[in-house]
């Protein structure tokens, strides 16, 4: 009898902690999606440094982020994108905020 009680207590506990874990997971997923939100912009490539993984763009205003037009650096982690990041060219680009930097994830 005692064993059955202990067993059901263990099962009851694990069921509760199991749902708590699932809830935390949902939350993490939501925050990650918010951070990974993709913004789009259009701008002129000023310079591109493949070795450093940095592109300088003079971009048009980006209303979704409340950004005015400006010249700024973006990180580029996918080296293949440098084929399209040719200085003097106007490009449409996608980027995400990653920690404290902006990372270009796509170039058209």
Interacting residue ranges for Cu ion, rule: CB under 5 A:
67, 70, 72
Closest CB 30 distance from Cu ion, rounded Å: 26
In the bound state with Cu ion, the residue whose beta carbon lies nearer, of 37 and 72, is 72
Closest CB 20 distance from Cu ion, rounded Å: 41
Tokens 């971009």: give the residue.
Answer: 59
Closest CB 36 distance from Cu ion, rounded Å: 19
In the bound state with Cu ion, the residue whose beta carbon lies nearer, of 39 and 53, is 39
According to the 3-state scheme, what is the secondary structure of the chain? Answer: CHHHHHHHHHHHHHHHHHHHHHHHHHHHHHHHHHHCCCEEEEEEEEEEECCCCEEEEEECCEHHHCECCEEEEEEECCHHHHHCCCCCCEEEEEEEEECCEEEEEEEC
In the bound state with Cu ion, the residue whose beta carbon lies nearer, of 30 and 70, is 70
In the bound state with Cu ion, the residue whose beta carbon lies nearer, of 73 and 84, is 73
Closest CB 84 distance from Cu ion, rounded Å: 19
């Amino acid at each position: 009898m005692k064993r059955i009680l202990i067993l059901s207590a263990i099962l009851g506990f694990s069921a509760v902690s199991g749902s708590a874990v699932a809830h935390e997971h949902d939350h993490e997923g939501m925050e990650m999606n918010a951070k990974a939100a993709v913004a789009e912009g259009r701008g002129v490539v000023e310079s591109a440094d493949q070795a450093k993984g940095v592109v300088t763009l003079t971009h048009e205003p980006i209303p979704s982020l409340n950004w005015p037009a400006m010249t700024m650096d973006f990180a580029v982690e996918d080296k293949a994108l440098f084929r399209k990041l040719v200085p003097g060219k106007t490009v449409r680009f996608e980027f995400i905020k990653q920690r404290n930097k902006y990372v270009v994830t796509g170039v058209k």
